[in-house]
Structure 1
């Protein structure tokens, strides 16, 4: 047992890469034959998003990737060959680059070719050439599964269920129903931050939920303090009215003035806390309605705990973690 930990420790010292955000990947827009450019971009984007969900890859996003390519002087963005993809990776400083092609063979029949190329070695780490019988939604499912295959990880059960039932199955359609702005707004009206979480913005939603709840808690606490002071003031006022000795009258009068001063301070707190809470709740509703949805399918849980694994791409031990 001691030897195992010793080997692991020295492996970490020599070859570990403490990168919490995975292997950096760029995805070139899939080329298409018989498929409209718009649909080809949709297929590519869904593949990009699924790569990020694996926890192994960090796909830098189309805008960033293409901006870097333009800055490097690249004019022709269409690319599928190994040499071309490797060159793009070198010019943008990425670990891996993905390129592919979607071909419509006939009605409800497609062929998909995807290559995952290592930038440094200029070697194809993963390549897939397959046919899909169905609609473009079925192609999307296969591409999402392919992302997990490229990461050497088991896909979520939800994706496997979609593959078994098909994209047009009523159960799948119900579970993949778009997260609408109206649905998100209704949720945030009742629970602050819930609409943002519903649309895939978990961090923002949790922030709204915690801060607004804290504001509500502080407001309620201040209201309770004010209520107690009101009861106390009424009791002192009764004693003040019943007092007949001069010293007692002065004593109760001073106490009433102190209580009034405390009530004024707490009243200001109530106004401040309730105002901030209302603003936060309003921002939560605004964010849930106007923010773009961050996910297409059901929310998947992401573990924030560090994971130690062997990186098959770069032949070294990797310590990785993710934050949802």
Structure 2
């Protein structure tokens, strides 16, 4: 039986499983948008979830309207393009949600802080993907003092009065990348590794580098990080930097922490080089790189799940509810297990 707390229907995976007749594990796979579920089963579970109010946060009088703002980086980063798309799509599943996207190209922290403060008095909730900087953290805390609910998305920020973070454990993601690199280069010879960083000011990128370094030092001391290249998630810059690396002594492995995979792959194809290449986020572009073996493995986080969960988190906070959270999970994708969507 569904429980009511504060006038709000709280729906759980177990309740959806009981009503739909499918196992909790299958329901969990559908709600986390993972592969391996028949379309008919997926549709039935999603229909049950809708009917039980999982996507609606329904109350006896209908849910109050929530104005929700999302501040995300602009540009052609494929993962961010997907995240923007899914935010709009997922928001339509929730009654009373009014999403607004704000895209920024200027990474100046003072300017970003100003953009945050401009939302005072004009929104109920804010989700941000932003660099880690004192000015940004102070602006967020001022929003919270003003009664606005704030969540971090994809990359966390410390020391904030936020309601939560929605995203993967980025340090664990970096350790996973290091494990894969070490397993691919198991001959115990010394090898040079190149690390590409999108923006060092993103805490998520910093945490991935820390995780990668830690497992190489711990388990694979024969692998040496020779080059650390910041490319600002720019494909052309990634292409040029990869060309530069390949002109001298090519690294045995490349780990790309952020965006720019298409630039790296193009340089590798042009040079006919085939180092171990580990990257993040499964997109149509990285699927193609896996298929032609330019890319060895992708560490994926699910942008649709992240969009859904941050909307649920913010809407619940504004409406005084306590919604269960299903955080996104890390998944390693190889050429042989590319999910069929």
| TM superposition score normalised by structure 2 | 0.30
| TM superposition score normalised by structure 1 | 0.31
